Amino acid sequence: MLDGSVSDSGQEGCFEPLSSGAFYTSKCEMSQAWKNLERQTAKALKGKRILRLTAPGPSYISASDVELHALPWLKIDAKYRTRWAHHRFLEAIRAKYCRGRKDEPVLVTKQHRQRGACVTIRLEFFGRLCGLLKTNR
């Protein structure tokens, strides 16, 4: 599956080595897919992936998945699922309203009785926004 994620070998997608030294793609296991998403997120945002070397317990320190040195107040957590319902809405916005290459779909959602609303945008677009924030500090 070539999804733009990066494996430990530095290759995109989930790859298995062949005896010839080449790679072939295989279905990502859930345990590898979320790690790939964290790596992809850190790369896109020019941040650092936070590795947890201990299992949850008394010595476990909770931290977000990605840290941005220049924007430490952003707490970035990557969540991988086979399908997210709101991604269909984001794709529908893109198909219906985005005409040019620079157009970006933005989805604003709010649950009943929720305080405030949430915004969903593409990771690459968020990376560009973070870059602007870093340069304008």
Residues 41-89 have pLDDT tens digits of 999 999 999 987 666 676 667 789 999 999 999 999 999 988 899 999 9
The residue count of the chain comes to 137
State which amino acid sits at residue 28.
C
pTM (predicted TM-score): 0.68
Give the pair of three-digit tokens for residue 99. 């005409």
Helices (H), the chain: 30-44, 85-97, 123-135
Spatial separation of the C-alpha atoms in residues 121 and 45, rounded to whole Å:
13
27-40 burial code (b ≥16 CB/10 A, e <16): ebeeebbbbbbbbb
Spatial separation of the C-alpha atoms in residues 137 and 132, rounded to whole Å:
9
